[in-house]
Chain A
Amino acid sequence: MRKIFAVSVLFLALPLFAMAQSFNPVIEENSVDGLLLGAEGSYKFFGWLEPSLGIAYGLQSQKLRYRAGVGVWDAKISVVDWPRTPVLGRIGEAGVKATLKLPWNLPTVSGFFGRLWPWPHDPHPPDIAYAMWESSRSFSLPFGIELGVFQQALVGWWQLGVLPSQFQYRQTQLSLRRELFSLRFSYGTLENESKLPDFIFVQGVKGDSTTLQGDQFWTLHFERAFDVIAIPVPITVLPQSLALLVQGAVFFQIAAAGKSEPPSDAQGEEKTVWQNRLSWGMSVLISLEKAGVTARADFVFTRDGQFHFLFNF
């Protein structure tokens, strides 16, 4: 760990002939680390070599998280101990990760070998390896409509050397967006013959604390926002006043998850039992132009008629 820290100091003090690509603070939260605070950045040398480093400290776990890598053109290899993992039902991953961004709008392919993070529900997580394929494309349709297509597929293995050891999922999201109009549809399926614990889709809707779990899911999300008023906010240190934008919105969302249930007898067929949730309501959004600060108040009604007020920044 000390070595990594020393390397990171050296890295951050690199000479100025390198082009700074990015430098961002890390402020996020997960159930293991609690609040995670740190920073990450990358530099590009000679137009093709890009080392990167992120370091953050978990206030609850009291652990230092990191991800350090080297990118050569569109390929990158990194050592990670970082929250977020594409493995369903898990918090983070620690190991070695390689990513290759293929040219001509082809998907990004990545591979990982290492261990999933331990957490109270699973204090001894397994070693795993996975390969992932991600594709994100957007198309400009007539009338100013943007069609977005995001696809993700993962094939993983655990209990290496034991059969069956494979788990996998595929999910697709289609979105239509035109100015402040947005319609999003997602669906996905998974196979978990190797019974990796917690490897399952979890879905929910705004305002409803209950979640749906299943090996298939689909969701639909509609939102139409509209500008109510832009109020100029004079800030003396800035040459131009910023605008406080107030928007209204109407939304509804539906989530459905289907779980395969084994046949009740030898002759029976496997059934998929579906559950669904929906919620709808209105929102008020207040944002400060150019400052990237948005406050959102949601007035949500859920399927059983419960009203919820949500507020977040």
Chain B
Amino acid sequence: MMRHLLMTALLVACGSLVSYGQLTIFDPALVWQQLETEHFLIVFHQGLENIAHETATVAEESYEIIKKEFGKAPTDKVYVVIADYIDSIVGSATPFPQNTIYIGPAQMRLADWANVRLDSWIRVVVYHELLHIMDLDIATGVNALLRAIFGRIVVPNMSKSITFIEGLAVYEKYKYLGESRLNDANTIMMVRQMVLDNRIPRFDEISRYYDRTAWPPVGLLVYNFSSWFLRYIEETYGPESMKKFNDVNSGSVINTLSLVFFSDNFDAILKRAVGKSADEVYAGFRAWLRQKFSEEIQAITREGLTSSVRLTKLGWMSHQPAWSPDGKEIVYRHSGPGRNGMRIISADGENDHEVLFGPAQLPSFSPDGRSVLYTKLDLNGFYYAFSDLYLYDLEQKSERRLTHGARAYVAAFAPDGQTIYFAHHIGRDASTVISKLDLQSGKITPVTEFADNSVTVHSLAVSPDGKTLALSLWRRGGYQDIYLLDLSPSPSPLGSGLGGRLTPITQDKDEDLDPTFSPDGQYLLFSSDRGEYRVANLYAYKLSDGSFYKVTNVLTGAFDPTVSPDGTKIAFTGYGSDGYDISLMPFDPQSWKPVSLPKETLPEWPGFQKTTFPVKPYDMMPSLLPKLWLPFSDGTSMGIVTLGQDVLGKHAYQIVAGWDFDQKKPFYLVDYMLAQVFPMLGLSVGDTRDERTQRISAVMPLLLSIFQEHWLSASYGRVDRPAKEPPAPWTEDAYAVQYSYQGVHGADLWRDTLSVSVQGELKIPSDAKTYRRLTVTLSEVFRLPLAETHTLSLKFIGGWSDAERAEDGFALGGHTGEFALRGFAEKAQQGKQALVSSAEYRFPLFAVERGFGYWPVFFDDLRGGLFIEMGLAGDTLDIDNLKIGFGAEIELSLTTGYFLNWALRVGVAQGLGEPSPRFYLTMGM
């Protein structure tokens, strides 16, 4: 038992670490190569050669900078895997089982997640992820010795607050590259608002992932806000503070011994690093922020603030507004803790309602007002997830997919209502093209092409006369500017020459986004973070004379401008205490302040530079070899655990092996997974004290989409036991097939998550007749449409078998297991058949959201539950034997060790006819 517990704990820890890695199955048609530099192995597939060469150069440059900062560097080569399989940001790093970085080339709408002033998106991603690798790789003192012995199971820097992982990467980028999310307009605005509201988060709120109920979301806290804390530490306690902190933290033996379940006390670590208690340091940070931003706030206010009316009230991410042609409504996108979808609100602020649940992006009305155009990411076959164009018919309430695999991510209707201009990716390196789609014929025609992944389109708008596109383009060198593209077919000096002339309107290092035309076509409005304090404000460009105007002066930010069809109002995305919301202000050119926006010289982008590093076919063996081992013993046996996975995730294995002193024989357990192509195959063999096992399994997706999954799996297993009651050798062959389905539907706050599983088994035991088992499970969770999360769960499980023995059938009762029936003892009923059905209502009691001092324990939410369950089991299902239980439960969700989320449940259940209630306690991940 003890050994099982220990092995389970080790595998959980290892699994948690592995989950940081890449588990996607790549298209088997991809041909992989590797480029080797002094410190890196860059693995990439066809079409990504140029990006691989630039990555090699950037990675080596970044390596030198970070090595200087930390004074240490990994001894083994770092893998960088570049794969184009999804139209989303891909950037992740794992030190486990080997240092590996994963990046993707589809960096659309770069300004939405990165500071665009950095010269190359590759540098943004590589520097950030490499910093993680070189940070998490550090092991000092005794841990360095332990690493030398046990390998990469010793990763003490994994055991630290996420503030000092993600915040560190953002801060270090700022420190050495001058730009990062730390000093982009969105982060500065968020911190300024915190100071305005006097709501600066506590340290425990910014140091781990949890189910946060208030704005800002925890992701913005652990990345963006945390970086300010680290900046403060270094500016106050010296530029080597991060290095000192890492040296102390990575030397903690507690961090190593607790794996990722726990870690050392942050207060003690910080005190040893900077000589001050965490309380003192954090209090100083808060005071520093207040002082710094109060001065800014006063300076901005002195200029005179623009007044506007907040239209939406949901906060969080309410953005991307667009007017209806009649000017009566605004469509926008909202995502928050309860809602996620496309919404329409009346221009008077009434009737705010969701029209489409899900990740529809950048919605805009068709010129006839009958439908809404948007882009959406969905799975494309089993190996890709691409973004496409969709049209939602507001009368029919139906969605029409306009493109399939076009990789379209920004789109706008032309005034004719038949043409749609959109930006999309082409080629394996996800280079950008602007094309037009003819709705009638479905024909797609390229307008302008930007080769070599040199440009990303952030946003686009079509002029009222349909002759010009306004674009916000990010160009190499870190320039996010506004352009006009003449749609008449003449050679373009900047694009590839397919479309018309591309004329820069702005050309500087400031971030200029979201261009939109006024309905009369006289002005081009856009958002820009230019100015001393990097406040995103609205600006206007007068097309007739080329003059610029500052339209707003706000304290936080103004984005996504759009002018009402009657030309009287501007709707834009503003920012406040609750997050982003849509606001309205008058369209009044007389009140705008003339400004001058001189153009800078755009550096020449010479194109990708080939390096001389050798390129060879991908060799999986070096990454597949085990990089760690961990001993264990339960007193009667001793063994080791090891595991490995190649960086493309095609092969993975776990090995447990050792010597059993009682039985004087070795034992082993080997699991192997082949994930080169669907179906995924698993093999497992073992010879332990109690039994010999063999198992082969296959898992295959049938249909996949963002809202629906269908999977089919099959397995064969054999168990040989030397002795079983009655004492005799015993074997069992088992065949199993399982179909599983999961689907999600939603409408505003309502969510409906349905899971269905059907498992059929054929078992051939040596001591009984062959028998069959069938288990059908249906589980449905309704999130009720209330502001806080209230759920109603319904569950039905049916079991049927033709086994001769009751124990080979189904047993009812207890508080765990498939056929649990709370309020009754385990095996309260047993037989060839069983049915259980339950209803459970869960509701929030209290959002604790507090840490336990500076220890890595965080109490998240306290929730209550009321349930009723009923079931019966037996060879014949007679309703007269129906058992009914009911009860209540309290669940505390908590985080330990910064990464592991747990649910602690305490419950009481009364079975009808039972003499007394039963209490139970469970803890699970």
**Which A residues contact B (CB, under 8 angstroms)?**
142-144, 179, 181, 222, 224, 226-229, 248, 250, 252, 254, 256, 276, 278, 280-282, 301, 303-305, 307
Q: How far is the CB of B769 from chain A (nearest CB, A)?
A: 15
A229 and B702 CA atoms in complex are apart in Å by 10
Chain A residue nearest to B754 (CB atoms) is A226
Given the interface pairs A228-B710, A303-B877, A305-B832, the reply to whether A250 lies near B800 with Cβ below 8 Å is no
How long is the Cα–Cα vector from A240 to B133 in the complex, in angstroms?
A: 54
Please, which residues of chain A bring their CB within 8 A of the CB of B796?
A: 222, 224, 250, 252
Pairs A-B, 4 closest by C-beta atoms: A276-B879, A303-B877, A250-B778, A280-B798
Pairwise interchain contact B877-A248, C-beta atoms closer than 8 A: no
Residues of chain B within 8 A (CB-CB) of A256 are 879
B779-802 Cβ-contact flags toward A at 8 Å (1 or 0): 010101100000000001010101
A31 to B741, CA, bound (A): 42
CA gap between A303 and B882 in the complex, in Å: 13
Q: How far is the CA of A228 from the CA of B784 in the complex (A)?
A: 25
Query: Min CB distance, B562 to chain A, in Å?
Result: 32
Shortest CB–CB separation between residue A243 and chain B, in angstroms? 12
Closest A residue to B777 by CB, please name it: A250
Minimum CB–CB distance from A254 to chain B (whole Å) comes to 6
| Set of chain B residues within 8 Å of A248, measured between Cβ atoms | 741, 756
CA distance A248 to B774 in the complex (A): 16
Q: Are B776 and A143 in contact, CB atoms less than 8 angstroms apart?
A: no
**What's the Cα separation between A307 and B782 when bound, in Å?**
32
Least CB distance from B243 to A in Å reads 55
User: In whole Å, how far is A58's beta carbon from the nearest beta carbon of chain B?
Assistant: 39
Nearest residue, chain B, Cβ from A304: B876
Report the separation of the CA atoms of residues A281 and B756 in the bound assembly, to the nearest whole angstrom: 12
Q: How far is the CB of B777 from chain A (nearest CB, A)?
A: 9
Which residues 622-650 of B have a CB within 8 angstroms of A?
Answer: none
Alpha-carbon distance between A142 and B800 when the two chains are bound, in angstroms:
36
Q: Indicate whether A143 sits within 8 Å of B750 (C-beta atoms), given known contacts A228-B703, A250-B776.
A: yes
* B876 x A282 contact (CB < 8 A): no
Q: Cβ of A143 and Cβ of B798 under 8 Å apart?
A: no
**26 A–B contact pairs at CB < 8 A?**
A143-B782, A144-B750, A179-B745, A222-B796, A224-B778, A224-B796, A226-B743, A227-B708, A227-B743, A228-B703, A228-B710, A248-B756, A250-B776, A250-B796, A252-B796, A252-B837, A276-B880, A278-B877, A280-B798, A282-B758, A301-B800, A303-B876, A303-B877, A304-B877, A305-B875, A305-B876
Nearest chain B CB to A18 CB, angstrom units: 33
A281 to B877, CA, bound (A): 14
Is the C-beta of B553 less than 8 angstroms from some C-beta in chain A? no
Q: How far in angstroms is the closest Cβ of chain B from A208?
A: 11
Interface of B with A (CB < 8 Å)? 703, 708, 710, 741, 743, 745, 747, 750, 752, 754, 756, 758, 774, 776, 778, 780, 782, 784-785, 796, 798, 800, 802, 832-833, 835, 837, 875-880
Cβ-defined contact, B756 with A305, below 8 A? no
Q: Once the chains are docked, how many angstroms separate the CA of A227 from the CA of B796?
A: 18
Q: In angstroms, how far is the closest chain A Cβ from the Cβ of B829?
A: 14
The distance in angstroms between the C-alpha atoms of A80 and B730, with both chains bound, is: 72
CA distance A254 to B835 in the complex (A): 12
| Chain B interface helix/strand/loop/mixed | strand
How distant is the Cα of A144 from the Cα of B438 in the complex, in angstroms?
37
Query: A276 near B878 (CB under 8 angstroms)?
Result: yes
CA distance A227 to B774 in the complex (A): 22
Docked complex Cα distance between A256 and B802 (Å): 26
**B747: which of A144, A222, A281 is its contact (CB, 8 Å)?**
A144
Query: Which of A143, A224, A282, A305 contacts B833 (CB under 8 A)?
Result: A305
A280's partner among B743, B758, B835 (CB-CB below 8 A) is: B835
Give 12 new A-B contacts, CB below 8 A, not counting A143-B782, A144-B747, A280-B776. Answer: A144-B750, A181-B780, A224-B754, A228-B741, A250-B796, A256-B879, A276-B878, A280-B835, A281-B798, A301-B798, A303-B878, A305-B876
| Cα–Cα, bound, A227→B710 (Å) | 11
Distance from A268 Cβ to chain B, minimum over Cβ atoms (Å): 22
Which residues from chain B contact A179 at a C-beta distance below 8 Å? 745, 752
Residues of B contacting A254 in the complex (Cβ-Cβ under 8 angstroms)? 879
Q: How far is the CA of A227 from the CA of B758 in the complex (A)?
A: 16
In the complex, the chain B residue whose C-beta lies closest to that of A222 is B796
Contacts of B877 in A (CB 8 A): 278, 303-304
List chain B residues, Cβ under 8 A from A276: 878-880
**Please, which residues of chain A bring their CB within 8 A of the CB of B758?**
282
B757 to chain A, nearest CB (A): 10
Q: Are B802 and A305 in contact (CB under 8 A)?
A: yes
**Alpha-carbon separation in the docked complex, A282 to B750 (Å):** 27
> Which A residues lie within 8 Å of B833 (CB)?
301, 305
> Quick one: which of B743, B798, B835, B879 has the most chain A CB within 10 A?
B879
Residues of A within 8 A of B752 (CB): 179
- In the assembled complex, how far is the CB of residue B779 from the closest CB belonging to chain A, in whole angstroms? 10
By a CB distance below 8 angstroms, the chain B residues around A303 are: 876-878
Contact at A278–B754, with CB atoms within 8 Å? no
| Residues in B whose Cβ lies below 8 Å from that of A227 | 708, 743
Q: How many Å lie between the Cα of A304 and that of B800 in the bound state? A: 10
Closest Cβ–Cβ distance, residue A276 to chain B (whole Å): 4
Q: Would you call B875 and A250 a contact (CB within 8 A)?
A: no
**A154: min CB distance to chain B, Å:** 28
